Structure 1
């Protein structure tokens, strides 16, 4: 078997003459690249693979991000792990990440975003959605939502709605402050903000998550948290639950059923309202834009519409919500940076106080701060691929069809890639900082890609970013943030994604208007 390599990118073209004409390229053969079985990793036992390490407490599921750091430190840039009968190759080097993405093709194949959710949807005869499908079925769904969810102009249509919810969040914060201007349950409030904002985008109405319907919101937040906690635990368990309804699987089904049924009721109510307006000839062009657009697509079934809407509605609870918590922590922990970002926001905010797409484009320091927070406190541990062809990663031959997890987050606090890696320095991401002392190591383009890369990039990325920018802007415009305990250090817990491990006590000091 022969491959030609240009830099670290490897292709399996037939014939050496092609590579000979290209400088800086070399051939890697089966003689120089090691076999797949040579990839290092922890000792695997028959039937159980490496799950015994999690069962015995040697590895912790809730600290899976630290397990990955341990695997990288002990075994190197490519590691093989076996969970039950599933073999996963962990890739840590951003050059190898680039290699994987270089062979993505038109329809990259991925393992299920959450296998437990995929199984649930199959059992309930639901559409699987974007994150749990591949091939033509994935491409059909992606093509249908691309215009609405991924084009900046289309997403900016929802900016006034998201800003309204950001201002509702301010009212909730003000009501929740104690006599010392402290909020003890900021994580819960932010989760409700996330649901309210997603509901405003999907259904163009208030769900009352921040006021009258807080009890329902609390139940939905708990159900969503259970889905992700149990999904994370079952990911590292023997797949007995696929054949026998174990207690954890039953609890998972209960949480999924409750959340899906409640969210679907919101979809049904909105669809009924749209149909009534259509029948009366009263539906305005810019009314119920998200759902009306999905319903107008002949290539989407009602099942597809439900799941796509559910995904956008629910995903923020597990992604945007902890992201905002991490951002508020970084701002409170770094008052000088917070002050610089506040001044930059006020300098670029229009006189009429509206947050517009143009204003957000000018919030360069704020956008850099959000990116810096993703570096220090990533939401996920990996993006995944099923490699479509034989390739070489870290000098090992990876056969087509192998599940590869891209775990470059282990380098986010490495001095090899970042100057003063433990410091919160938003300026490192500003374009003018490239090549300066703050950014002397240079930025690898495949190192920090929190929403993924290419055609399988997170479909809700622009909505999530817009939510973060508007909420942080409104909070900093009205409050100075301060940690009640200056010595508090944020830690993360793995629950399918990474969330705050402990509650954060945050003081909101009102700014003079």
Structure 2
């Protein structure tokens, strides 16, 4: 049996490894053969085991029966697929295929189109691709090795349309690949999804369509995954979702690698999903992140936890970052950083800008400064200290942290659909880059946490001595200090959650600010409307940032409108704890269901004039007012998630963006040279393909920087 498995799997395994690692083909069978005594070694009778020739003949007969059974199953499967392809050829009057004819003749030409497949006829002819298996597809696919090595390539090699048809390799329960258990699990993942579909069909109710009847883009997840890589779909996943909804309607299934999900669009379905999330809502686990924590022996924060443990930690964190009392404590810190950002921008305009009608202006790409702002604000709130990113020479440590976060986000999507532990064993460059980025993020956070802990210890010791600590009276010690003082979370869990908040609080704030500034710049009428409300509110607030935000609801509308058009995360996922019905389709409990935010925000079925940037639609007189009045459904603004599992840093991010926009609109007029829509790409978060260039024109003539900010 060893010999048979070797012959069937050694060549595809060599192909797979050379694609993933970028190295020359190696003898995978030799390198990955389990050691003597390993539990995963297959038992093969040898001469040393028995001298009874009768036993050996019986064993050989069993092997022959298994081989004939596999051949019969292969022939049946090939014939069914050939019948399906023949159906499409007859429908579209295409020429017959000799190989399909031979498959049908092998079983007597009496195979009809399978009933389930007949219900899922697709006009794009994708059924032909589904006849391939993953191993054979790897043999004919040319990978863009830049995806794994980190190098940039501008061209993609596509497989020939006339490539020979792949042979189907059936792996039954009696013949399993023992050379690489992780690959074996990967190959059988699609069968697991198929089993779930069978349960859904058995449990369908009268009048409700079955799970299998939900339209889908192809039932072979590994073939779909390879096609995504080949065509570069990962970077345009949001566009792919939008196009698929246009093709199939408001619900469809997506098979990608080992993952099977149901994607939905309409708020009525999203509401039904959230009502079935239970006491401990679950969303899709980012397995590359979880694997990094497990291999490095780090504790997991609430982002990666589930169940009662998640709920306990989350309730403790909510007290420090979500409640109104917490917002009241950290809002002045965010306001200080937003003011300093505008001071920096004024200095740049005065030194590098050009004067025009007495109002100096400067045209720049603001994204580097926005990333520094987001990191400075996050550190100030989380650690209670400034790190000086607005100085003339920002620290190399902070610049490396920003790079590490960007690298971590860029390497996550390709790893979501591959077994991380397999890549870890193969020393794949993609996994190495991902793990190295996380290591740097943890190192940066560890240094800040140690400094915070030492500062608290020093303040405690000086306080016990009866002497006041300089700057400690009424000073917010940061979320880190608050958690340490309460002592309700172990230090390891504090470290894990603070690190996750830091890693998730930079790009997810800086990128939406780029989109917001661009939309305000290319919609001058909207910009003036928001500015007028901001100026009036600021004059009444007398410098109080909380009152200023309360008096300018259009600022909040600007953030919501930006995230409607450009959601940071393009999906919100849940696993319902009970069977539900969406669009009259039965969804079994435990199915991964994704609310797709990018198509949702641009759907004519959900929003009036969805392409128009209108912060007022979220006010009492806009569409939101209709929602409150009960004439329209809710669940339309979900960029931060919903319910108990919504983004834990939501209050920090919302107020951070609103305060920066407030001070920018008070001090600058924004313009752009081109009003064309920004092209976007997806790298775990949605961001511009190229950062927009914006002209900042000072609204003051000769006032000093300090005067303009008062």
Q: TM-score, normalised by structure 2?
A: 0.65
User: Aligned pair in 2 of structure 1 residues 435, 258: CA closer, same or farther (>3 Å)?
Assistant: closer
Structure 2, unaligned runs of 5 or more: 1-202, 355-360, 464-468, 701-707
For the pair 1:505 / 2:679, whether they are aligned, the reply is no
For the pair 1:110 / 2:299, whether they are aligned, the reply is no
- Which secondary structure does the structure 1 equivalent of 2:260 belong to? strand
* Count of matched residue positions in the alignment of Structure 1 and Structure 2: 482
Deviation at 1:311, TM superposition (A): 2.4
Alignment correspondent of 1:461: 650
Q: Is the 8 A contact 1:385 1:405 kept in 2?
A: yes
| 1:188 aligns with one of 365, 368, 373 | 368
For the pair 1:147 / 2:328, whether they are aligned, the reply is no
Q: Is the 8 A contact 1:419 1:439 kept in 2?
A: no
Q: Is the 8 A contact 1:79 1:89 kept in 2?
A: yes
Q: For 2:675 and 2:634, how far apart are their aligned partners in 1? A: 34
User: Aligned pair in 2 of structure 1 residues 56, 506: CA closer, same or farther (>3 Å)?
Assistant: same
| 2:380 aligns with one of 193, 200, 206 | 200
Root mean square deviation, CA, Å = 2.4
| 1:422 aligns with one of 590, 594, 611 | 611
Q: For 1:137 and 1:397, how far apart are their aligned partners in 2? A: 31
For the pair 1:312 / 2:501, whether they are aligned, the reply is yes
User: Aligned pair in 2 of structure 1 residues 340, 95: CA closer, same or farther (>3 Å)?
Assistant: same
| 1:81 aligns with one of 220, 241, 254 | 254
- Which secondary structure does the structure 1 equivalent of 2:677 belong to? coil
For the pair 1:30 / 2:210, whether they are aligned, the reply is no
Q: Is the 8 A contact 1:48 1:238 kept in 2?
A: no
User: Aligned pair in 2 of structure 1 residues 343, 285: CA closer, same or farther (>3 Å)?
Assistant: closer
- Which secondary structure does the structure 1 equivalent of 2:505 belong to? helix
Alignment correspondent of 2:491: 302
Q: Which moved more, 1:161-170 or 1:34-43?
A: 34-43
User: Aligned pair in 2 of structure 1 residues 405, 368: CA closer, same or farther (>3 Å)?
Assistant: same
Q: For 2:206 and 2:635, how far apart are their aligned partners in 1? A: 29
Q: For 1:142 and 1:475, how far apart are their aligned partners in 2? A: 34
| 1:130 aligns with one of 302, 306, 309 | 302
For the pair 1:269 / 2:451, whether they are aligned, the reply is yes
In our comparison, the structure showing a higher alpha carbon Rg is 2
User: Aligned pair in 2 of structure 1 residues 499, 432: CA closer, same or farther (>3 Å)?
Assistant: same
| 2:224 aligns with one of 41, 47, 50 | 50
For the pair 1:179 / 2:353, whether they are aligned, the reply is yes
Structure 1, unaligned runs of 5 or more: 1-27
For the pair 1:162 / 2:334, whether they are aligned, the reply is yes
| 2:593 aligns with one of 397, 404, 413 | 404
Alignment correspondent of 1:7: none
User: Aligned pair in 2 of structure 1 residues 336, 437: CA closer, same or farther (>3 Å)?
Assistant: farther
Q: Is the 8 A contact 1:392 1:398 kept in 2?
A: yes
For the pair 1:380 / 2:552, whether they are aligned, the reply is no
Q: Is the 8 A contact 1:190 1:321 kept in 2?
A: yes
Deviation at 1:499, TM superposition (A): 1.1
- Which secondary structure does the structure 1 equivalent of 2:385 belong to? coil
| 2:214 aligns with one of 39, 45, 60 | 39
Q: Is the 8 A contact 1:378 1:498 kept in 2?
A: yes
Richer in helix (by share): 2
Q: Is the 8 A contact 1:83 1:238 kept in 2?
A: no
User: Aligned pair in 2 of structure 1 residues 201, 111: CA closer, same or farther (>3 Å)?
Assistant: same
Q: Is the 8 A contact 2:669 2:696 kept in 1?
A: yes
Deviation at 1:316, TM superposition (A): 1.9
User: Aligned pair in 2 of structure 1 residues 168, 286: CA closer, same or farther (>3 Å)?
Assistant: closer
- Which secondary structure does the structure 1 equivalent of 2:427 belong to? coil
Alignment of 1:189-338 (within 5 A): 189-211=369-391, 212-237=393-418, 240-241=422-423, 243-281=425-463, 282=469, 284=473, 286-338=475-527
Q: For 1:252 and 1:70, how far apart are their aligned partners in 2? A: 30
Richer in strand (by share): 1
